[in-house]
Amino acid sequence: MLTRIDHIGIACFDLDRTVEFYRATYGFEVFHSEVNEEQGVREAMLKINETSDGGASYLQLLEPTREDSAVGKWLAKNGEGVHHIAFGTADVDGDAADIREKGVRVLYDQPRIGSMGSRITFLHPKDCHGVLTELVTSAPVESPEH
């Protein structure tokens, strides 16, 4: 069952400049950043709030590291802006299977590793009214050691 909006992905040409805009304009700070070589992106996750299911909601800023990446191709065609919306779920495998049974194309046969160690898959935008949709199961949060 989908439990929350995990994040909204925003494609940008210059990650540092875009992070600075969100920091200066809204006060959002970078919670996590990484380079995902498989997806060809450099990203920054800006935490917006905590959620009742123990997760959080983020803005995910995405800068392509190569022109042939999905985000690079999307930017070349569309320019900067909202790239996708991601819904959080405790069971990405089960929810993807349920959604596939309803006739929606799931882009990965098996979920892949996403930001912060999460497990992810995408739904085809043509089956979701033009919206690239991601399903995310967050990595377990490690309890602090005392």
- Which domain CATH number covers 19? 3.10.180.10
Q: Residue 96 has what pLDDT? A: 97
Q: Is 43 a catalytic residue?
A: yes
Residue 145 falls inside a structural domain? no
- pTM, to two decimals: 0.90
Q: Residue 146 has what pLDDT? A: 41
CB 50 within 8 A of CB 58: no
Q: Is 7 a catalytic residue?
A: yes
Q: Residue 103 has what pLDDT? A: 97
CB 43 within 8 A of CB 62: yes
Domain count across the chain? 1
Q: Is 84 a catalytic residue?
A: yes
Residue 73 falls inside a structural domain? yes
Domain of residue 24 covers 2-137
Q: Residue 132 has what pLDDT? A: 97
Residue 53 falls inside a structural domain? yes
Residue 144 falls inside a structural domain? no
Burial class (CB in 10 A: 0-12, 13-18, 19+), 5: middle
Residue 16 falls inside a structural domain? yes
Q: Residue 91 has what pLDDT? A: 95
Give the active site residue among 37, 39, 43, 124: 43
Residue 129 falls inside a structural domain? yes
Give the active site residue among 7, 39, 63, 83: 7
Tell me which residues of the chain have a pLDDT lower than 50: 143-146
Q: What is the CB neighbour count within 10 angstroms for residue 141?
A: 10
**Where does 1-146 show beta strands of DSSP type E?**
2-11, 30-36, 41-50, 56-64, 81-89, 112-113, 119-123, 133-137
Give the active site residue among 29, 34, 60, 146: 60
Give the active site residue among 38, 83, 84, 142: 84
CB 55 within 8 A of CB 6: yes
Residue 143 falls inside a structural domain? no
Mapped onto helix, strand or coil, the DSSP state of residue 53 is: coil
Rounded CA-CA distance 41/70 in Å is 9
Q: Residue 143 has what pLDDT? A: 43
